Amino acid sequence: MNDGLDRFRAHLFHDERLGFWLDTSRIRWAADFLDGLEPRLQAAYEAMAALERGAVANPDEGRMVGHYWLRAPELAPDPSIRDAITTTLGRVLTFAEDVHAARIRPERASRFRDVLLIGIGGSALGPQLVSAALTSPADRMRVWFFDNTDPDGFDRTLDAIGDALPGTLAVVISKSGGTKETRNGMLEAEAAYARLGLDFAKHAVVVTGEGSELDKHAVARGFLDRFPMWDWVGGRTSELSAVGLLPAALQGLDVEDMLRGARAMDEVTRSRVTKRNPAAQLAAAWLSATGGAGKKDMVLLPYKDRLELFSRYAQQLVMESLGKRLDRHGREVWQGISVYGNKGSTDQHAYVQQLRDGVDNFFVTFLEVLLDRAPQRGDLSVEPDVTSGDYLSGFLQGTRRALDERGRASITITLEALDATSLGALIALYERAVGIYAELVDINAYHQPGVEAGKKAAQAVIDLEQRVLAALRAKAGTSLSLAEIAAAAGSDDPETVFWILRHLSANPRRGVLRVRGQGAAAEVGSPLDWSWMVAAAP
Ligand SMILES: O=P(O)(O)OC[C@H]1O[C@](O)(CO)[C@@H](O)[C@@H]1O
């Protein structure tokens, strides 16, 4: 028992000003692990300092990595960057005030009451996390999301917005300005406004890189406003740029508090004294738990409904940053840490069974918020002198203990309260822990070469579909084999042609073409042997 207490004491970090605790006592550190790691940690601190001074920390893309400057512009290496950060923050705040005060108004409705954010990945996950975590009855606007290219998803969101669309401000966010899912979302939104006889441009702003395709579109169409995204901010670390600040300010959240929280966490996590640096301790705990080679998954369990999206947010931050084939010397390392999770205690009734009794391929991070609910809501007793919040805390502690008894590692992060300041601090903590971890395993955390392969392959499918459609149109009214269609489309990839045909047959091009595969697999051996009827669609 005392052993446990000593361990707890030795590995419990607390910062009073941040209202923040980090407990790594249940990570099952080897006795000399941290001492042995210290030289590498010192090198990581130096690398992080160089990065903050403006080193090109993302050499593959020739970019600086400046998300820390967003909350401390005075650290930016260049006056023009400092100025861009402060000017943009001012513009974001003024724009939100003008929208709230109906000085900026929609075409027909009396004022904007809703926001439709169109973005994906780093251009949506942070805003989604923040919006859900900090929403309250005091919100100035409701925020909706298009974060995919799922037509049914668009329809579902538009149905939910319903009659409020004329008073909805579309915020289109894409750093590159060329992401297809986001482009499609924007076109779908444009069409929805047009169906009501409204001009999308009078209801839209963009956050994007200057001169991007999206930026040019916004200029050409005369959007209400444009906010910048800079090449020195990565998508997954862009929550505290206009990407996250604009939607949050429109919702009515205190974005300056968010920046203050992140800034305060940065100050603490710049420490080169490992015992006083929670981001370093977190990174070291990940290294200890995963063997520095992704051998265990990171299960994120916030015991707070408002933080339910934290695992999705951290999933991109951790996996897109750390999931790398090559290290910085070009050696094959296949790095990464898998991240999943939802929320406690809900997950206790789902997969926690396996965490305790099944395969030991994970470490848990519990996230706890001490303040159960807003004090003005009272504290109902569900049993004599026992509240729902006591149960929430009890379940967290119980699961932590039950896992520990089985030798399963866990970390616990405790926030005194969940508000804009502590959420900003939490985001900053994870950003720096990822940066330090990447230094420890010697990879570039700031590029994402892997996602390009999927994007290129998707574009190749779209291009092939065009050729398939042209071939089908030329043969309307006939029945063709897969091989014939592939040959007519000039493709030596019948498998992809089959996927295209199967999708087309479920979604006929109205008034143009109907494609139907025929023949039961039992008769012809395989659906790949179907004949495809090509007919003009009704
Ligand atoms: O903001 P953008 O350029 O639309 O990119 C969205 C997301 O796509 C990615 O580039 C990956 O494909 C992410 O890194 C990024 O957050």
Residue type, 178: G
The reported pLDDT for the residue numbered 475 is 87
Closest ligand 1 atom to residue 455 Cα is: 12
Q: Which atom of ligand 1 is nearest to the CA of 452?
A: 12
Distance 499 CA to ligand 1 centre (A): 26
Q: What is the pLDDT of residues 307-345, one digit of tens each?
A: 999 999 999 999 999 999 999 999 999 999 999 999 999
Percent above pLDDT 90 for the chain: 86
What pLDDT digit, counting tens, does each position of 345-359 carry?
Answer: 999 899 999 999 999
Q: Determine the average pLDDT of the residues in 222-231.
A: 98
| 537 pLDDT above the threshold of 90 | no
User: For residue 106, how far is its CA from the centre of ligand 1 (angstroms)?
Assistant: 29
This prediction's pTM: 0.96
- Please identify, by atom number, the ligand 1 atom nearest to the C-alpha of residue 454: 12
Task: Quote the tokens at residue 296.
Answer: 């265990």
Name which residue leads in pLDDT, 507 or 301: 301
Question: Which residue has the CA at smallest separation from atom 7 of ligand 1?
Answer: 121
- pLDDT tens readout for residues 419-470: 999 999 999 999 999 999 999 999 999 999 999 888 999 999 999 999 999 9
The residue-averaged pLDDT of 251-266 equals 98
Alpha-carbon distances, residue 423 vs 173, 245, 253, 370, 437 (angstroms): 21, 13, 12, 14, 21
Active site residues: 320, 349, 455
In this model, does residue 509 exceed pLDDT 80? Answer: no
Name the residue at shortest CA distance from atom 2 of ligand 1. Answer: 174
Pocket of ligand 1 (CB under 6 A): 120-123, 174-176, 179, 182, 235-236, 320, 448, 451
Sorting pLDDT into bands at 50, 70 and 90, what band is 391? very high
320 CA: nearest ligand 1 atom? 14
Q: Is 203 exposed, middle or buried (CB count within 10 Å of its CB: 0-12, 13-18, 19+)?
A: buried
pLDDT confidence band for 523 (50 / 70 / 90): low
**Stretch (H or E) spanning 51:** helix 33-53
| Residue minimizing CA distance to atom 4 of ligand 1 | 174
Residue nearest to atom 16 of ligand 1 (CA): 122
First to last CA, the chain: 76
CA of 427 to the centre of ligand 1 (A): 18
User: Which residues, in sequence order, are CB contacts of 449 under 8 Å at separation 6+?
Assistant: 60, 325
- Please choose from 451, 456, 459 the residue to mutate so as to test ligand 1's pocket, defined by most ligand atoms within 8 A of CB: 451
**What's the helix, strand, coil split of the chain in %, to 5?**
55, 15, 30
Q: Whose CA is nearest to atom 12 of ligand 1?
A: 451
Residues with Cβ < 8 Å from 260, sequence gap 6 or more?
A: 71, 421, 424
Kindly give the distance from the C-alpha atom of residue 214 to the centroid of ligand 1, in angstroms, as a whole number: 14
Q: Does the pLDDT of residue 241 top 60, yes or no? A: yes
CA–centroid distance, 56 to ligand 1, in Å, is: 20
**Please, which pLDDT band fits residue 508 given cuts at 50, 70 and 90?**
confident
Top mutation candidate among 125, 175, 213, 456 for ligand 1, by most atoms within 8 Å of CB:
175
Q: What pLDDT is attached to residue 428?
A: 98
Residue 264 tokens, joined: 């305060």
> ipTM more than 0.90?
yes
pLDDT of res. 1: 47
Stronger pLDDT, 513 or 181, i.e. the higher one? 181
User: Tens digits of per-residue pLDDT, 86-139?
Assistant: 999 999 999 999 999 999 999 999 999 999 999 999 999 999 999 999 999 999
Average pLDDT estimate for 129-155:
98
* Inter-residue contact 22 to 425 (CB < 8 Å): no
In the chain, the percentage of residues whose pLDDT exceeds 70 is 97
* Distance between CA atoms of residues 3 and 1, nearest Å: 5
φ/ψ (deg, to 5) at 52: -70, -25
* pLDDT for the residue 212: 98
Task: Work out the average pLDDT over 404-412.
Answer: 96
**DSSP-assigned letter for residue 532:** E
Q: What angle do CA 209, 206, 67 make, to 5 degrees?
A: 50
**54 touches 77 (CB < 8 A):** yes
pLDDT band at 4 (very low <50, low <70, confident <90, very high): confident
Distance 175 CA to ligand 1 centre (A): 7
